[in-house]
Chains A and B, each alone.
Chain A
Amino acid sequence: DAGVTQSPTHLIKTRGQQVTLRCSPKSGHDTVSWYQQALGQGPQFIFQYYEEEERQRGNFPDRFSGHQFPNYSSELNVNALLLGDSALYLCASSPQQNSGELFFGEGSRLTVL
Chain B
Amino acid sequence: QQQVKQSPQSLIVQKGGIPIINCAYENTAFDYFPWYQQFPGKGPALLIAIRPDVSEKKEGRFTISFNKSAKQFSLHIMDSQPGDSATYFCAASIAGNTPLVFGKGTRLSVIA
Contacts and interface: CB of A to CB of B under 8 A. Distances in A.
A82 B83 CA distance: 37
Interface string B94-107: 11111111111100
B52 interface: no
Contacts of A45: 99-101
Contact of A56 (B34, B99, B104): B99
A43 B41 contact: no
B interface secondary structure, majority: loop
Interface residues of A, number: 26
B60 interface: no
Interface in A53-71: 56, 58
B34 A101 contact: yes
Interface stretch (A12-20, A72-80, A102-110): A102-110
Given A42-B105, A100-B32, A48 B43 contact: no
Contacts of B49: 100-101
Interface residues on B, range: 20 to 34
B98 A98 contact: yes
Given A100-B49, A104-B45, A107-B43, A40 B99 contact: no
A106 B104 contact: no
A4 B99 contact: no
B103 A105 contact: no
B93 interface: yes
27 contacts: A33-B99, A35-B102, A40-B105, A42-B89, A42-B102, A42-B103, A43-B89, A43-B100, A45-B101, A48-B99, A58-B99, A90-B44, A97-B96, A98-B93, A98-B94, A98-B95, A98-B96, A98-B98, A99-B96, A100-B32, A100-B34, A100-B91, A100-B93, A100-B100, A101-B46, A105-B43, A106-B43
